[in-house]
């Protein structure tokens, strides 16, 4: 009997290569929690938040994917916790691949690259949760908005409940 393949849920963890120790700690716990619940953890494959989320997922036995801006290994890309590196050669345009592949995006900290991912995810209808990240004001009541969390503990508690559904 042939079984149809199933799509695994994908958590895209968005955030900067330059991250605070608090942001990295939250990202690591997010990656671990997702992996423990059977989710694939997808990042941009670099340092900072991306590396921390990948480390948490890998140490929990989960699958990690890094969607990379270059066409081969370069500098700190991919980080050592990425099991499946995807070399796009597309620079920052790779941000679209990250969010369009995701079931849920979690943004932790981050700069302009993270903001671009948040915007693309919202435009594509992918849910976005932000923790210590961008705070947006919509131009009208119909604009999609990310869910904002004041701190890592609130994010982690909500994520744990969401992932166990």
Per-residue pLDDT, 93? 95
pLDDT at 112 over 60: yes
Query: How many domains does one find in the chain?
Result: 1
pLDDT at 6 over 80: no
Section 63-77 average pLDDT: 95
pLDDT at 148 over 80: yes
Residue 4 lies in a domain: no
Which DSSP category does 146 fall into?
A: P
Say which CATH number the domain at 87 has.
3.40.50.450
Per-residue pLDDT, 7? 85
Helices 152-163, 21-36: axis angle to 10 degrees equals 10
The torsion angles phi and psi of 148, rounded to 5 degrees, stand at -105, 140
Q: Coil, helix or strand for 71?
A: coil
Whole-angstrom Cα distance, residue 91 to residue 138? 28
Residue 165 lies in a domain: no
Which residue range forms the structural domain that includes residue 39?
Answer: 17-135+144-159
Would you list the DSSP string of 93-138?
Answer: GHHHHHHHT-SEEEEES--HHHHHHHHHHHHHT--EEEESS-----
Residue 152 lies in a domain: yes
CA distance from start to end of the chain: 29
Residue 12 lies in a domain: no
Residue 37 lies in a domain: yes
Percent of the chain with pLDDT over 90: 85
Residue 94 lies in a domain: yes
Per-residue pLDDT, 2? 58
pLDDT at 1 over 60: no
Per-residue pLDDT, 164? 84
């Amino acid at each position: 009997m042939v079984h149809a393949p199933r799509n695994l849920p994908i958590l895209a963890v968005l955030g900067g290569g330059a991250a605070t120790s608090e942001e990295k700690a939250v990202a690591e716990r997010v990656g671990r929690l997702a992996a423990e619940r059977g989710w694939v953890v997808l990042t941009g494959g670099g340092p900072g938040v991306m590396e921390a989320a990948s480390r948490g997922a890998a140490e929990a036995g989960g699958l990690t994917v890094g969607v990379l801006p270059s066409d081969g290994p370069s500098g700190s890309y991919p980080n050592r916790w990425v099991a499946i590196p995807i070399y796009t050669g597309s620079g920052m345009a790779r941000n679209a691949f990250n969010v369009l592949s995701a079931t849920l995006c979690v943004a932790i900290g981050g700069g302009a690259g993270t903001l671009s991912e948040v915007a693309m995810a919202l435009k594509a209808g992918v849910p976005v949760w932000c923790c210590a990240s961008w705070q947006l004001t919509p131009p009208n009541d119909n604009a999609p908005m990310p869910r904002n969390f004041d701190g890592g503990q609130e994010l982690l508690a909500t994520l744990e409940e969401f992932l166990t559904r």
